[in-house]
Copies of this chain bind each other. A is one copy, B any other.
Amino acid sequence: VLKVASMSESHVEELARPAYARWRAARLPIVPTILAAPGQIELHLTAAAQSAEEAAAALETAARDLVGAIGNRVFTTDGETLEEVTGRLLRAHGKTIAVAESCTGGLLLSRLTDVPGSSDYVLGGVVAYSNALKVDLLGVPRELLDAHGAVSEPVGVAMADGIRARNRADIGVGITGIAGPGGGTPDKPAGTVVIALSAEGGAQVRTYHFRGGRQAVKFWATQMAMDQVRRRLLGAQP
């Protein structure tokens, strides 16, 4: 099972299609199935072969081929969760992380700390629903909130920078958005989420528009945040 967090099903399908054609031409006994799971696209590969060894070899070839086609958006080829992969990379790079969450309400911190031993690299974080807490606990400038609103890229970056500085962490993540179902506006509908990452070398920020209910929006936002951290650690371009 290959998992991809930050691409649409149709985009994954499009990149995978030439690989499928190659497998057919090479008579590789692989049946691929694409599945849109919550927060990620999964490519399930099944091999039908005479022996277990032959099947394993075909699966390995196919998996390598797909990773070649899709690139580092594939976060696992062996069923790991995104929090496990992200945690493993943080540990391998010797980096610590701190998180400032608004609309995800602590879900990112909770998922990161579901991994045993995560206290080695997760320093902690802040859940700041109110603007007052964003100012008091994260040092977000009041003028920024007034000028751009709480759900804005400048505020997301200020949250990421603030929590990073406050915790003396290598990486800071800031998430601000509207989980819904209420609270949306015409220009910032429910499901709008800003995710920012602060690290040596500069901040990066992106605004997403997630669909689905409150819990789906929260989950997707934590997936995208972890994938942003993961790819930054891999050295990929944002």
**Residues of chain A at the chain B interface (Cβ within 8 Å):** 99, 101, 104-110, 112-114, 116-119, 122-130, 133, 136-137, 166-167, 179-183, 214-215, 218
Contacts and interface: CB of A to CB of B under 8 A. Distances in A.
Contacts of A129: 113, 119, 122-124
- Interface of A, secondary structure class, is mixed
Contacts of A109: 105-106, 109-110, 127
A217 to B, nearest CB: 11
B105 A182 contact: no
A96 B129 CA distance: 12
Contacts of A125: 106, 126-127
Each complex incorporates copies of this chain amounting to 2
Contact of A133 (B106, B167, B182, B218): B167
Residue among A101, A105, A114, A218 with max Cβ neighbours from chain B (10 Å): A105
Contacts of A183: 119
